[in-house]
């Protein structure tokens, strides 16, 4: 699935359609608690282990937007999710930094 640009993400937020997505923030807890746009926080370093141990109960068909500070960790997380059968995953290109600049 294609990545999502910051302006498209904002449009989803403003229209309320963002509720159709699971927002997955893969930053560290301190970063998440300092500033976030909602969703759940699973640090990138823990994601693979949680999937491997069946600790994550996301539906593989669930629409997911993966978020981080710059879009790099979330790109890696998207790859991990795709490799584990998740089909509808989008990375927020440019991350929260790009989102704040709009």
Q: Which domains does the chain have, with CATH numbers?
A: 6-101 (3.40.250.10)
Q: Could you tell me the pTM of the whole model?
A: 0.95
pLDDT tens by residue, 5-15: 999 999 999 99
pLDDT tens by residue, 24-49: 999 999 999 999 999 999 999 999 99
Burial per residue of 25-39, b for 16 or more beta-carbon CB atoms within 10 angstroms, e otherwise = bbbbeebbeeeebeb
Give me 66's structure tokens.
Answer: 């993966």
The pLDDT, as a whole number, for residue 102 is: 87
Chain position carrying tokens 């989008």: 90
């Amino acid at each position: 699935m294609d990545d999502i640009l910051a302006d498209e993400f904002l449009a989803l937020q403003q229209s309320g359609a963002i509720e159709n997505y699971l927002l997955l923030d893969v930053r560290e807890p301190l970063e998440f608690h300092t500033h976030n746009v909602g969703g759940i926080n699973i640090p990138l370093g823990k994601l693979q282990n949680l999937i491997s141990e069946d600790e994550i109960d996301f539906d593989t068909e669930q629409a997911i937007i993966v978020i981080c500070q710059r879009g790099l960790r979330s790109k890696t997380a998207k790859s991990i999710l795709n490799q584990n059968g998740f089909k509808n995953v989008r990375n927020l290109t440019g991350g929260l930094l790009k989102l704040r600049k709009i």
